[in-house]
Amino acid sequence: MRTRTVLTAMSIAMAGMLATQFSHAGTLENVKKRGELRCGVSDGLAGFSAPDAKGRWQGIDTEMCRAVATAVLGNPEKVTFVPLPNSERFTALQSGEVDLLSRNTTWSASRDNSMGLSFPGGVLFYDGQGFMVHKDAGVTSPKELDGATVCTQSGSTSEMNMADFFASHSLHYQAVTFESPAQLLAAFEGGRCDSISIDSSQLAALRSQLKDPDSGVILPEMISKEPLAPMVRRGDEAWGKVVSWTLYAMLNAEEMGITSKNVDALTAAPKSPDMARLLGKDGDFGKQLGLSNDWAHNIVKNVGNYGEIFDRTVGEHSPLKLARGKNALWNAGGFQYAPPVR
Amino acid sequence: MLRPSTTIPPREHGPLWRDPRVRAFVLQAVMLLVAVVLVILLTNNTLSNLAAQGVTTGFNYLSQRSGFGISQTLVEYSANSTYADAFTVGLLNTLLVAGLSIVTCTLLGLLVGMARLSSNWLLSRCATVYIEIFRNIPMLLQLLFWSALMMSVLPEFKKSYSLWGVAFLNKKGLVLPWVEFSSSTWPLWLALALGLVAMLVMRNINQYRVRRGKDGWPVRWLTLALIVLPPLVTFFCSSIHASLSLPKLTAFSSRGGIHLIPELVVLWLTLTLYAAAFVAEAVRSGLASVPNGQREAATSLCLPGGLTMRKIVLPQAMRVIIPQLASQYLNVIKNSSLGIAIGYPDLFAVYGITTLNQTGQALEIMATTMAVYLALSLLVSLLMNLINARMALKER
């Protein structure tokens, strides 16, 4: 673990020293040339990215990777998943070890502006930080956690939000931090922590992994905004556009009612001018991104629209069973809103 | 036949570049210059490239608000402290666990090493089993094992073991009564340090006197007095008040007293048990290196076994033991960074992971973290070399 952090730090140094054209290399061309997308994901978080029983990576973050691979290479399987712990994700992207970071990472000002990285646009999952407590503790609000031991992931925004929350309510707490979700889970079950405080979607994932899921209670109160979004290197606009428009294509597809099942029929006979443009029957919106014109068709055909992905990874048809909530489309009471294709 | 000296031609010095000493010097100087220029160029290039990529560089982040909590802080620290403070907290936590472990692994290793060579069959076999088990299992596994064991053995917070209502043991650690001072205690520490210096001076003067044939001072009593009296006198003469702080359990934790987190105890225990196995081997090889004749000579002088060990065998064995001991101490310091696996907030966890992630200053932080471990290791090597030099065989 440590050696790898040192190595990635060194490779940034190397990249900084040697490659003068580092940031202008053109990730899109590189990925096309390589014939494969290298995608940084979380190292095992149910619903977001975790290998299933057959060893295939599953989750909303990994589906985002597959969608980008489909948009660029026309094939959702041309992805190498690089599992990254919290502490290594940014260095891995900075150093070029991955082309894209799709790893439940919160969009924040400092991350967008000071690390040579950027969030190209579009939020994959609107989240907020919550608390899980032991059922027998009888706690109903995080404000009742005065003096509690609260465990969280090291190097996360959760660590900071938690400190702010307890300070602003003049409460005492003891923070114990762990690197991996598995360690967090063990510490909670073992009784070291009174509470775990991380993004509520992750809490749901951890709760589903408890030996007795009913022994953990997720408190309804949220203490932060956590827009989880894909991340790329700064200064490569073309690549950023590909990533954000891949997400927009999936959102627009859901809005227009295009699914992986009906996409072929709708491409043959689009029901509206909007649909014709998105599916590549009118205009050259795919070409403008440096992709083939049927990019959106391919994404929906191979990976699905946003709603389908949400459903099978974190929503109704997944073990997490999260409600769409804030992640519903804008015309269904949620925040998800993609710019129009025109 | 000797020729008259006048016929010897004056020694040719030749051109400067043919003098091997001059040549060597110039060559080294040029190499050094090239190395320095290369480092400067690379650094400049790196910085300008990083700037072009929009990566903030420099150490300005150190004065920014850290904004996160740490479970064990030896100095005043809160989320409002700076990243520099977080660095200090992490460094002190590393020093604490490494220091404690170095002391205990030395004592345990000495005992086990001597037990291994004992003539008592059972004792020596027990020592062998201990060494083989703890030396051959990776430390990370041992750490996770003890951590899991500790967590399953300790009671829940609500069912804490209580010792007469003043000390509590549970999954969140051990809470003990503690002395609380009304103000900063640095004068006491200063007095202690001055006392220690005075003690060293006193011992040297005494040695000098004894060598000159004068009567020795009562060194033991003087040593005790010089260590104990200065802090005591300072305490009673200053305005520092001490009071006993008794812990009280609240809904989730305790107030007052001192709180020992379980992660510290587990890491301390593991480092001790792991390193002691290696120390024991060093002790064994040291003892084995002392020729049997030395023991036999002592026996023939009717010296008791304990005295033979303390005055004759150990001092000679130390020359073999100390260099190996030094490398074990370095391992203890480096291995303490494994504490991250169980959530111990050491330098690597607090600074190398959390601070790095919050600020994104990977280069600066990895460089300083490595520099700190390097400096600690060099310092320990230096100290051990000094001790080794004192212990080395002196031929008079």
One DSSP character per residue, A167-222 reads HHTT--EEEEEESSHHHHHHHHHHTS-SEEEEEHHHHHHHHHHSSSGGGEEE-S--
Q: Which CATH architecture fits A27-124+230-329?
A: 3-Layer(aba) Sandwich (3.40)
Mean pLDDT of all residues in B254-271: 90
The answer to the question of residue B146 being in a domain is yes
Contact A57, A41 (CB under 8 A): yes
Residue type, A239: W
In the Cβ-directed half-sphere of B121, how many Cα atoms lie within 13 Å? 0
Residue type, B56: T
Give the separation between CA A258 and CA B141, rounded to whole angstroms.
Answer: 51
Contact A268, A243 (CB under 8 A): no
Looking at residue B10, its pLDDT comes to 53
A232 Cα to chain B: minimum distance (Å) = 12
At residue B258, the 3 state secondary structure works out as strand
> CB contact, 8 Å: A87 with chain B?
yes
Domain with B317, as residue range(s), is 83-154+262-390
Give the separation between CA A45 and CA B238, rounded to whole angstroms.
Answer: 57
- A295-302 and A60-73 helices, crossing angle to 10°: 140
Mean pLDDT of all residues in B176-187: 80
Structure tokens at A34: 């390589």
Looking at residue B303, its pLDDT comes to 86
Strand partners, A115: B55
Where residue B226 falls (left for φ over 0; alpha for ψ -120 to 50; beta otherwise) is alpha
> CB contact, 8 Å: A42 with chain B?
no
Give the separation between CA B73 and CA B356, rounded to whole angstroms.
Answer: 19
User: A87, B356: Cβ pair inside 8 Å?
Assistant: yes
pLDDT confidence tier of residue B49, bands split at 50, 70 and 90 = confident
At residue B25, the 3 state secondary structure works out as helix
User: A16, B50: Cβ pair inside 8 Å?
Assistant: yes
- Which residues in chain A are closer than 8 Å to B251, comparing Cβ atoms? 146-148
Looking at residue B390, its pLDDT comes to 81
Residue type, B104: T
Give the separation between CA A73 and CA A35, rounded to whole angstroms.
Answer: 7
Give the separation between CA B114 and CA A224, rounded to whole angstroms.
Answer: 59
Mean pLDDT of all residues in B290-294: 90
10 Å CB burial of residue A6 (0-12, 13-18, 19+) is middle
Chain A residue with the nearest C-alpha to that of B67: A160
- Which residues in chain A are closer than 8 Å to B69, comparing Cβ atoms? 159, 162-163, 166, 173-175
**From A147, A190, A234, residue closest to B53, measured CB to CB:** A234
Residue B254: its H or E element: strand B254-255
Q: Which of A11, A141, A154 is the mutation pick for testing B, counting most B CBs within 10 A?
A: A154
Residue B114: its H or E element: helix B83-116
Contact A217, A196 (CB under 8 A): no
Helices (H), chain A: 2-18, 27-34, 60-73, 89-94, 109-113, 157-168, 181-190, 200-209, 237-256, 263-268, 273-278, 285-288, 295-302, 306-313
User: A17, B262: Cβ pair inside 8 Å?
Assistant: no
Q: How many CB atoms lie within 10 A of CB A213?
A: 12
Strand partners, A329: A336
The answer to the question of residue B365 being in a domain is yes
- Which residues in chain B are closer than 8 Å to A188, comparing Cβ atoms? none
Q: How many CB atoms lie within 10 A of CB B276?
A: 27
The answer to the question of residue B202 being in a domain is no
Using only the alpha carbons of chain A, give its radius of gyration: 21
Looking at residue B165, its pLDDT comes to 79
Q: Please check the confidence at residue B182 and state whether its pLDDT lies above 80.
A: no
Please, what CATH class does the domain formed by A128-225 belong to?
alpha beta
Q: Are strands A148-153 and A216-218 parallel, antiparallel or unpaired?
A: unpaired
Contact B325, B279 (CB under 8 A): yes
Nearest one of B369, B380, B371 to B340, comparing CA atoms:
B369
Q: Please check the confidence at residue B188 and state whether its pLDDT lies above 90.
A: no
Strand partners, A228: A106, A125
Q: How many CB atoms lie within 10 A of CB B388?
A: 17
**Per-domain residue ranges of chain A:** 27-124+230-329, 128-225
Strand partners, A45: A49
For residue B340, what is the domain's CATH number? 1.10.3720.10
Nearest one of B376, B340, B393 to B140, comparing CA atoms:
B340
A269 Cα to chain B: minimum distance (Å) = 46
pLDDT by residue for chain A (342 residues), tens only, comes to 455 666 666 666 665 555 444 444 699 999 999 999 999 999 888 899 999 999 999 999 999 999 999 999 999 999 999 999 887 899 899 889 999 999 999 999 989 988 889 999 999 999 999 999 999 988 999 999 998 999 999 888 899 999 999 999 999 899 999 988 888 999 999 889 999 999 998 898 899 889 998 999 999 999 999 999 999 999 899 999 999 999 999 999 999 999 999 999 999 999 999 999 999 999 999 999 999 999 999 999 999 999 999 999 999 899 888 999 999 999 999 999 999 998
Q: Are strands A37-42 and A79-84 parallel, antiparallel or unpaired?
A: parallel
> CB contact, 8 Å: A17 with chain B?
yes
Helices (H), B248-361: 262-289, 292-300, 305-308, 314-335, 347, 356-359
Q: Please check the confidence at residue B1 and state whether its pLDDT lies above 50.
A: no
Give the separation between CA A189 and CA B84, rounded to whole angstroms.
Answer: 34
Task: Give Cα A233 distance to the centre of its chain.
Answer: 16
pLDDT confidence tier of residue B308, bands split at 50, 70 and 90 = confident
The answer to the question of residue B75 being in a domain is no
Looking at residue A15, its pLDDT comes to 58
Q: How many CB atoms lie within 10 A of CB A325?
A: 14
Contact A95, B53 (CB under 8 A): no
In the Cβ-directed half-sphere of B349, how many Cα atoms lie within 13 Å? 31
Give the separation between CA B372 and CA A223, rounded to whole angstroms.
Answer: 36
At residue A130, the 3 state secondary structure works out as strand
**From A16, A147, A164, residue closest to B67, measured CB to CB:** A164
Strand partners, B65: B82
Chain A residue with the nearest C-alpha to that of B39: A17
A111 Cα to chain B: minimum distance (Å) = 8
Contact A304, A317 (CB under 8 A): no
Asked whether this chain's domains A27-124+230-329 and A128-225 adopt the same fold, the reply is yes
Token pair 């609240």: residue: B250
Please state the domain count of chain B. 1
Q: Which of A192, A194, A234 is the mutation pick for testing B, counting most B CBs within 10 A?
A: A192
Contact A72, A82 (CB under 8 A): no
Give the separation between CA B219 and CA B201, rounded to whole angstroms.
Answer: 12
Backbone angles phi, psi at A341, to 5 degrees: -95, 100
User: B356, A155: Cβ pair inside 8 Å?
Assistant: yes
